[in-house]
Amino acid sequence: MKSSLIVVGKALRYNLPFLNYIHSTITKHLNLPDQTVYIDKNDKDLFFVLEESISHADEIVIVTSNDSFNLVNKVIATLGEETLELKGGMLIPSKAVRYETDSYLLAREGKHINVIKATENKKLPPIFIDNTNESSLFSIINIDEDSLKILVEPLAQNYEIRITPTTIIDGWISVEAVSNKYGNLESFFKAVKSLLPQKVIQHPDVIEHICTCLEAHGKTLSVAESCTGGLIASMLTEHSGVSAVFKGGIVSYANEIKESWLGVNEETIERHGAVSELCVREMLEGVLNASLSDYAIATSGIAGPTGGSTEKPVGTVFVGARDKEGTVLIERLLLEGDRHYIQRQSAYHAFKLLLHVGETLFLK
């Protein structure tokens, strides 16, 4: 069953915080839409774009800006050869099967079309569509895509499962598993876990999985960040209830803050630089001492686009993870991309190291 998200209104497309909220809300109902279309209400091809997009999907959510809602309603009514009627304070197609303020649902020839009006700084109106595909998102750690194809794809075929892998970072693959008509997701996961022990995380969000495992074992985490600038702390605090496990973070961007707040030795920075294994090692120790947490993550690097050198080019990043017993892993990375992507990759590499340092919690 194919799904489509159509966003009508230039104002929505360029309001990135609001657009991210729209996407995160819609994907809870459509998973990842097979098609996402953006179009302005003044586009001369609006009618044909809506017609074409609807024709290629079974579940369609159309999100409109305030000033696009009535126009889209007229187009949708015309496509279905319906009139507009006043329902729930809205002029909407007459055959709407369900409606609440700023949202209505149509059922046409096996398709479901949900049109909603999105208002900035307001909660989205109700979404009436839920994708009926049986699917699941999971992660495999310490395996490459070639090995995944050799080992996991035959299992997927045996259990009538379609898998779509994507590499988050080296050694971390996220996989969408979708059940065919006679597929068995539960048996598929049992087989994958048996084949790849301590490599499979059967949770759509690995960071939420980390938080859940920490809470289940009464453990805590703190972070010391430089090049990621608080990104790791932000990724953790996106999850409700994380206060039970996340004590806090220190964004030690300046060297003097690394020294005064985290106890990094001045000599370490003078001899090896802030972007070094030894600096990250001392950052880990410092944040553990300051927070008395069970686990710590640290990052220091050059996210660019300026600041690199021949010895340490842009994309050079050291990430580390440690537990309070002294188990520590530090990795030197050479990352590519723009500043934002390098920072995001650095954060995921740090989380991957945490998975290994605490593998008895996270990868059992």
pLDDT at residue 134 greater than cutoff 80: no
Rounded Cα–Cα distance for residues 139 and 134 (Å): 17
**CATH number for the domain that contains residue 170:** 3.30.70.260
pLDDT for the residue 34: 87
Name the domain boundary from 117, 152, 169: 117
SS (H, E, C) 185-213: HHHHHHHHHHHCCCCEECCCCHHHHHHHH
Name the domain boundary from 117, 143, 165: 117
Q: Note whether 162 and 227 are same-domain residues.
A: no
How confident is the model over 240-269, as a mean pLDDT?
A: 98
Confirm whether 89 is domain-assigned.
yes
Name the domain boundary from 117, 151, 175: 117
Range of the domain at 148: 135-201
How many domains, in total, are found in the chain?
Answer: 3
CA distances from 243 to 213, 228, 248 (A): 14, 21, 9
- Number of Cβ within 10 Å of residue 188's Cβ equals 21
Q: Note whether 217 and 329 are same-domain residues.
A: yes
pLDDT at residue 27 greater than cutoff 90: no
Give the pLDDT band of residue 132 (cuts 50, 70, 90).
low
Confirm whether 107 is domain-assigned.
yes
Q: Note whether 105 and 190 are same-domain residues.
A: no
How confident is the model over 252-280, as a mean pLDDT?
A: 98
Residue 243 is classified by DSSP as: G
Q: Note whether 194 and 216 are same-domain residues.
A: no
Q: pLDDT tens, 179-233?
A: 988 899 999 999 999 999 999 999 999 999 999 999 999 999 999 999 999 999 9
**CATH number for the domain that contains residue 331:** 3.90.950.20
Rounded Cα–Cα distance for residues 210 and 194 (Å): 21
Q: Note whether 230 and 332 are same-domain residues.
A: yes
Confirm whether 323 is domain-assigned.
yes
**CATH number for the domain that contains residue 20:** 3.40.980.10
Confirm whether 50 is domain-assigned.
yes
pLDDT at residue 364 greater than cutoff 90: no
Confirm whether 110 is domain-assigned.
yes
Confirm whether 141 is domain-assigned.
yes
Q: Rounded to 5 degrees, what angle do the CA atoms 234, 19, 137 make?
A: 65
Q: Note whether 212 and 197 are same-domain residues.
A: no
Q: Is 343 exposed, middle or buried (0-12, 13-18, 19+ CB in 10 A)?
A: buried
Q: Note whether 211 and 196 are same-domain residues.
A: no
Q: Note whether 277 and 165 are same-domain residues.
A: no
Query: Does this model's pTM top 0.75?
Result: yes
Rounded Cα–Cα distance for residues 353 and 330 (Å): 8
Q: Note whether 354 and 230 are same-domain residues.
A: yes
Give the pLDDT band of residue 133 (cuts 50, 70, 90).
low
Q: Note whether 211 and 358 are same-domain residues.
A: yes
